Structure 1
């Protein structure tokens, strides 16, 4: 107190008086930027000091960031794998980062796969993590907009269209759809049978091919007849609903939100028209296609039947679950093979060996499902593409109860998120030599694959409601996820992707026009970034 009495405050106030007078004299509107800058500076200072001075030893280390709330969202969103690698070197396999007000605890590598995919339902929730993101895209009452046990039963309903018998019938249908597309598409023959060469926009073309082949096989001819190339564009608009900004803000008055909502209404209405027509005509055949199977059999264990609108919404989810990931994967394998004419020729010779040549027409015999099983290079090309370009770069769960991180002192608090990135692991030199190289033949004698198969064979299995799956998720190769949310469409994906690739190899030789495009991480689906995603094709004449 004696020190305070000794200070002449009048000197201080006299010195600051001109500054106060200047601020008072400013118009209010001129003060707004100054006030904003002052608060921003104060927030940054407090945020930095809190990270430096108050680190919790029982929490995973948080990636340093200047701006509160925003955190590391920008650098993560631009290059997630580079972001993961840089912070793994600093903090190890377990660390956390702030993304738009959410704290994401990352666990990299196979142990991270185990930690997230095999966590108990009461401890982590995909529904709480994704429902606000997926519900505007798929619609109400399905996928993550329902209790988990309902989703497990929905997956069981969908599996009725994913049998080996169904796959056998799908292959000639996919072949027919691809051939028809190539004849009419402006990217290929454009209704000109004499055309010998051209340039294809790969992602746009593959998006259309995959929507046509998936709808025809899974949903039937009736649905396929209603679709054109514009319908694929609608699914692309839906796909743009899976961006980081949508994860944070489910609804904003922005153009891509409006396109998302418009696409959802049109696609849902298209499926509802088919369902209502079949109801009216009393035409409900569970063996006809997935639409008929759901109309006839989509009854939960408690006796509640799915409404027709929910069936339409589930059809969106099922078709989209395969369409956008298969469009990305088939785009990437065409682009990579555009740099490897040697592999394109080997893939062709593999078909000659497996399918044989018709002695009269001198053409390859028709492709069958059994042929696909006998083509290791073709399947390894798909496998290698999925390794290099995991469709989802990040998988989240919201933490519902404090979650200890095994073999550490860390505990992830309730309300935070856990994040796993199998795609990062699949690109890691620790598990795959020359991991950034496209080399399908690495799978011919894959120690990792054998180890994963052995681990899966010895691991316990569990039925979450859609059939037994292995609890073994410690493999570094997990392109289809694991646990209760493992993708049920893996075998269909190989049938669809394999048949499409076989058709291209029979029809064309091709090469990249430019260098291999970069990965576009704008969406959560890892698609090639235009405009360099183009190939020049030449009709194969033998």
Structure 2
């Protein structure tokens, strides 16, 4: 077995550097070691291969379940629970995906379009002219409302506000480098009571769990199969092998959708506002494209607009929310990029480095949506939602929400950046977010 080279510093120091400044760590390592290198930045293994070459990523994704297995996401297990789709393996994972996929596609998802537009407009309508705000905070508010309506069918009431407050509290905790770092150092996840860092995380989680179980029990007692929210669909869903989902399974899947479904999308939306208002010609071209649809365009028609789509794609190319794909573990001896790998070795596709390859994206640090109009990139060259059997299940909803929120606000409000300093990606838990939140000001309503 021959293992790719990598940084020579101890693994604990690599983890620390990766936790504090992941992009600098990755760019420095790639500049020295190339398309594949060993960098054990998560977990306890001494070997962890990061790959950015599309051919290698294609080999990994195409060999899912054959030469490579997708192990459970140990990093997120403390947040999403034992029954989350993110931590299930093998047949149980495939069965879980089968149950969860229908709400995120076709007519079911299109039905959410008008709700997204209404919630985006409602959030911005509360701003006064000349009022300053951070796009990240406002986008988080919109995205949380969307996910609560889509997942639970909730738009008001005591439980809606309690869930919203608790989830926001939990995610805000991971703005702290100390709390975020605990995810990468499992041995430090000690519950020493609510006044300790991890103890307070667990305290908030227990409060959320209680709310979720209460909602599940209430909905079981008054279940209406005609409802289109995801909880209603999951309560009606049946697995060929064992029937419906238990309360614990439902709770973990709902927690996964709440955390992964709003936090990541909020950062993506904030980045679109940053780039579109940093370059006014981009904003004007989107408005011109929207004007071709008339006064009351259908949400699906908006989502199909080529330039709007390219803007959202370029946003997630230049600033992907997730840095790495879900890991794959080698199942049988395999050759990857000239290296002979033995079973057990873990391989990650590096989304960020792939999105900044000079051979794919010249001048990769420049925001240029036209790239996506000039050519079509393969799923191994552009992969903001990962790929293979572990591709993000909420990808379609995330794209839909990004496009509709951006289009709605550009059509109805005049905004500008209030801070002209370049915004840079920083760690927020296991994902990246804009460092200062994208500071903006509302100039007027159109």
Give the Cα separation in 1 of the matches to 2:134 and 2:389.
36
Equivalent in the alignment of 2:383: 478
The match for 1:83 among 25, 43, 48 is 25
Structure 1 contact 105–412 (Cα < 8 Å) conserved:
no
The match for 2:61 among 97, 113, 117 is 117
TM-score (norm 2): 0.88
Relative to structure 1, the CA distance from residue 175 to residue 226 in structure 2 (aligned partners, 3 Å threshold; closer, same or farther) is: farther
Structure 1 contact 350–375 (Cα < 8 Å) conserved:
yes
Equivalent in the alignment of 1:236: 171
Structure 1 contact 403–412 (Cα < 8 Å) conserved:
yes
Equivalent in the alignment of 2:115: 173
Give the Cα separation in 2 of the matches to 1:352 and 1:513.
27
- Cα offset for 1:540? 3.1
1:323 counterpart SS class: helix
Give the Cα separation in 2 of the matches to 1:376 and 1:272.
42
The match for 2:16 among 54, 59, 74 is 74
Is 1:199 aligned to 2:118, yes or no? Answer: no
2:370 counterpart SS class: helix
1:355 counterpart SS class: coil
Give the Cα separation in 2 of the matches to 1:223 and 1:279.
20
Structure 1 contact 284–296 (Cα < 8 Å) conserved:
no
Give the Cα separation in 1 of the matches to 2:65 and 2:40.
24
Structure 1 contact 431–476 (Cα < 8 Å) conserved:
yes
5+ residue gaps in structure 2?
none
Structure 1 contact 203–533 (Cα < 8 Å) conserved:
yes
Structure 2 contact 113–300 (Cα < 8 Å) conserved:
no
The match for 2:8 among 61, 64, 72 is 64
Relative to structure 1, the CA distance from residue 145 to residue 523 in structure 2 (aligned partners, 3 Å threshold; closer, same or farther) is: closer
Give the Cα separation in 1 of the matches to 2:107 and 2:240.
26
Structure 2 contact 56–337 (Cα < 8 Å) conserved:
no
Is 1:292 aligned to 2:232, yes or no? Answer: yes
Residue by residue over 1:36-65, the C-alpha shift from the partner in whole angstroms, topping out at 9 and shown as x without a partner, is xxxxxxxxxxxxxxxxxxxxx722223211
The match for 2:305 among 369, 372, 375 is 375
Give the Cα separation in 2 of the matches to 1:304 and 1:370.
34
1:431 counterpart SS class: coil
The match for 1:149 among 73, 78, 91 is 91
The match for 1:248 among 165, 181, 185 is 185
Give the Cα separation in 2 of the matches to 1:512 and 1:369.
27
5+ residue gaps in structure 1?
1-56, 190-194, 357-364, 453-472
- Cα offset for 1:415? 4.3
Query: What do you get for the CA RMSD once the two structures are aligned?
Result: 2.7
Relative to structure 1, the CA distance from residue 412 to residue 234 in structure 2 (aligned partners, 3 Å threshold; closer, same or farther) is: farther
The match for 2:347 among 418, 423, 433 is 418
Equivalent in the alignment of 2:431: 525
Give the Cα separation in 2 of the matches to 1:513 and 1:406.
48
Equivalent in the alignment of 2:209: 268
Structure 1 contact 284–295 (Cα < 8 Å) conserved:
no
Equivalent in the alignment of 1:7: none
Q: Which range is displaced more, 208-217 or 390-399? A: 390-399
- Cα offset for 1:287? 4.4
Equivalent in the alignment of 2:259: 320
Equivalent in the alignment of 2:396: 491
Give the Cα separation in 2 of the matches to 1:535 and 1:243.
26
- Cα offset for 1:233? 1.4
Structure 1 contact 161–290 (Cα < 8 Å) conserved:
yes
Q: How does 1:386-397 map to 2 (within 5 A)?
A: 386-397=316-327
Give the Cα separation in 2 of the matches to 1:386 and 1:224.
34
- Cα offset for 1:183? 3.1
- Cα offset for 1:398? 5.6
Give the Cα separation in 1 of the matches to 2:71 and 2:16.
25
- Cα offset for 1:121? 3.0
Give the Cα separation in 2 of the matches to 1:223 and 1:265.
22
- Cα offset for 1:312? 1.9
Equivalent in the alignment of 2:291: 352
Structure 1 contact 137–238 (Cα < 8 Å) conserved:
no
Structure 1 contact 378–498 (Cα < 8 Å) conserved:
yes
Structure 1 segments of 4+ aligned residues over 6 angstroms from their partners = 222-225
Equivalent in the alignment of 1:341: 280
Structure 1 contact 159–488 (Cα < 8 Å) conserved:
yes
Relative to structure 1, the CA distance from residue 488 to residue 539 in structure 2 (aligned partners, 3 Å threshold; closer, same or farther) is: same
Equivalent in the alignment of 1:439: 368
TM-score (norm 1): 0.73
Alignment length (residue pairs): 435
Give the Cα separation in 1 of the matches to 2:267 and 2:333.
34
Q: Which range is displaced more, 228-237 or 426-435? A: 228-237
Relative to structure 1, the CA distance from residue 120 to residue 497 in structure 2 (aligned partners, 3 Å threshold; closer, same or farther) is: closer
Residue by residue over 1:426-451, the C-alpha shift from the partner in whole angstroms, topping out at 9 and shown as x without a partner, is 122211122111122332222x43xx
Give the Cα separation in 2 of the matches to 1:516 and 1:499.
25
